[in-house]
Structure 1
Amino acid sequence: MTIPTPGAVVTGADREDLAAKAKELYLTGCTIQSTADRIGRSYGATRTLLLEAGVKLRPRGGMRGRYGSAARR
């Protein structure tokens, strides 16, 4: 799969391949933004691809400890 140029419309099998690549990256721990950077799409387009691929998105805000971060103590 070749990564399309930014702004190019991606349809059909190429879109499915791109969604699968985005899903793979996101499920291995990448953020939506870092996934977008790697596949050459915007944040919104990447989020849409992930949802089309059936990914359950992680909640916003990252990891939070029970008592907050160590920096706040």
Structure 2
Amino acid sequence: MTARTTAKGKRITGEARVKMAADLKKKYEKGASIRALAEDTNRSYGFVHRVLSESGVVLRGRGGATRTKTKAP
């Protein structure tokens, strides 16, 4: 069963959830974003985030530019 074939909103439990979690974990650790994984699997951002957290993945910090204050001379 591939992640793409799951119906949106359908509950994923048992072995299917374990397989999906392993697949998501592998892709996330290779650099895919949670948002990209959610789109690829037709699941919500929150679902993917929760599954990754449940599978013990250390989540990356948010991306983008950081705001730093310039030091006064």
Quote the residue 2:2 is aligned against. Answer: 2
> Is the CA contact (8 Å cut-off) linking 1:35 and 1:46 kept in structure 2?
yes
Which blocks of at least 5 consecutive residues in structure 2 are unaligned?
67-73
- Is the CA contact 1:32–1:46 (under 8 Å) kept in the aligned structure 2? yes
Offset at 1:57?
A: 0.1
Unpaired segments of 5 or more residues in structure 1? 65-73
RMSD: 1.5
Residues of 2 paired with 1:58 and 1:13: CA distance?
Answer: 26
Larger Rg: 2
Structure 1 residue 2 displacement after superposition: 2.7
Task: Tell me which amino acid in the other structure corresponds to 2:2.
Answer: T
Report runs of 4+ in structure 1 exceeding 3 Å deviation.
none
Listed one character per residue, the Cα deviations across residues 28-68 of structure 1 (whole Å, up to 9, x for unaligned) are 1011000111122100000001011110000012476xxxx
TM-score (norm 1): 0.79
User: Which residue does 1:27 correspond to in 2?
Assistant: 29
Paired residues in the alignment total 64
Q: Which amino acid aligns with 2:48?
A: T
